[in-house]
Each structure stands twice: as C-alpha cells, then as structure tokens.
Amino acid sequence: MELLLTSTGLHNDTLRDALRDMLGKPFGSANMVYVPTAAVAEPGDHGWFVADLVRLHGLGWREFSVLELNGLPPATVLDRLRRADVVYVEGGSHYHLARSVTGNGLADGILDALEGRVYVGVSAGSMIFSRNLTERSAEVLGDVADLHVLGATTLEPPFGLFDWYLKPHLNSPEFPERDDAWADRIVARADFPIYFIDDDTAVRVSGDKVDVVSEGRWRFHP
C-alpha cells in the first residue's frame, strides 16, 4: 500500500514529485478519484476546499472523478475507487470521515481497493489510519467538541494500520494556535506516538517503510 499523508495537499514541488515517483507514470496518464466527504462536515467558509480542488484538477489528470462516500451503495463506492490510480481524500472533519467509512461498512473494502493504488490524504484524510483515532485521542488533542458535534461520544478507528497518530498544520497561518508549545502540551498528555507536520510536509508510507518528505518542518514523538 502506498500512502502520501499530507497536511494541505500537494502544496509544493517536493510533494508533487513524491506522488509522481509513487505513481510511476505522468499525471496525464492516470485516473484521479477525489473524495470530499470530510469537507462537507466542516463549518464556515469553504474557499480552502475550492482552492485545493482547482489546484488538484489543474495537474492534468486523464480522468478526474468526484466520489462521496455517503449515500451511494458500498459496491458503487468501491468500484469507483478501483477505477482510480490515485485516491485523494480531502480535509475537513476527520471524525465525520472516519464515521462515514465505518458507518457505511467500507473499511475492509477500501483497504482492499487501495492495493496497487496511491492514496493521498489531506489533513483529515491523513488522520484516519491510526488505531489511536478514538475518543481517547480526542481528549489528548483537545477536540472532543468536534466529535460531540456529530452526536457521537465514541469512535471506532476505521483502519487501525499504525500505532502513530498524525496531527497536521504545525505552525500554519490558518491555525495560529498550533505552534511548538501547543505540540509540547499534546505530547505531555499523549500515550501514543505522534507526527506533527506542517503544510509543506507529508508522511510517506510504502509497504512497511515510513519516511517523511518535506520542504518545511515536522516533529515525531515516539
């Protein structure tokens, strides 16, 4: 399985080059499936969503398809994923995204569909693979309210592939509270490993190998 777990998408040349290398062919020869599910649960202005969609589409894919995880038969969702070379899962509410996967019975099918494809996560889309994506991590990270606003008090991790957790937007101007002191406070409460990445960084997973590609800053606390 090939995963490129970003904070803000294909934000720079290094991240775009990393995706080309993982894909093994030009973008113009590849099919893209774009999943906006996490974004629709996020309140406020969605200009960031439109900007990322336009930027991604502008890379010139052979086919660019938009796929919502809710409201379609699971077989349809999985067939659409299998048509893709790249599955790009947008940011927003990682709790809504995780519950959409589990609530629609898609977890095993998605993992199977991702074999032989490249998955690109953006923020929420990068956060859903940890087995520590639970109500406990919500307490550690201080975003229990984001879980409760969905009417939920518990959370089942949809995939549980890694013990480490990924937290995006370190030192981002869009999230000015996410500085190093903020990360230090989280680390002091956490009982699981955490990657903190900025908007110019991605965690890359290729089979059992995990590394970081970056033009910016990142931290890992085992």
pLDDT in tens, 104-142: 999 999 999 999 999 999 999 999 999 999 999 999 999
Inform me whether the pLDDT recorded for 77 exceeds 90. yes
Q: Residue 170 is encoded by which pair of tokens?
A: 């370190």
CATH superfamily of this structure's domain 2-221: Class I glutamine amidotransferase (GATase) domain (3.40.50.880)
Confidence check: pLDDT of 153 > 90:
no
What's the CA gap between 162 and 121, in Å, rounded? 15
CA 6 from centre of chain? 7
pLDDT tens-digit series, residues 81-94: 999 999 999 999 99
Beta strands across the sheet bearing 86-89? 63-66, 31-35, 86-89, 118-122, 2-6, 201-206, 209-214
The answer to whether the CB of 94 falls within 8 A of the CB of 79 is no
The span from the CA of 190 to the CA of 164, in Å, is 11
Reported as a pLDDT band with limits 50, 70 and 90, residue 154 is confident
- Residue-level pLDDT at 142: 92
pLDDT over 90 at 158, yes or no: yes
Distance from C-alpha of 154 to C-alpha of 15, rounded to nearest angstrom: 34
The per-residue pLDDT for range 178-201, each reduced to its tens digit, is 999 999 999 999 999 999 999 999
Instruction: Give me the DSSP letters along 192-222.
Output: S-EEEE-TTEEEEEETTEEEEEESS-EEEE-
Q: How many CB atoms lie within 10 A of CB 153?
A: 10
Torsion of the alpha carbons at 220, 126, 205 and 184, rounded to the nearest 10 = 0
Helix axes 74-82, 107-114, angle to 10 degrees: 10
**What percentage of the chain exceeds 70 in pLDDT?**
100
Chain length of the chain: 222
Q: Does the structure show a pLDDT above 90 at 148?
A: no
Structure pTM? 0.97
Question: Token pair of 101, please?
Answer: 């996967």
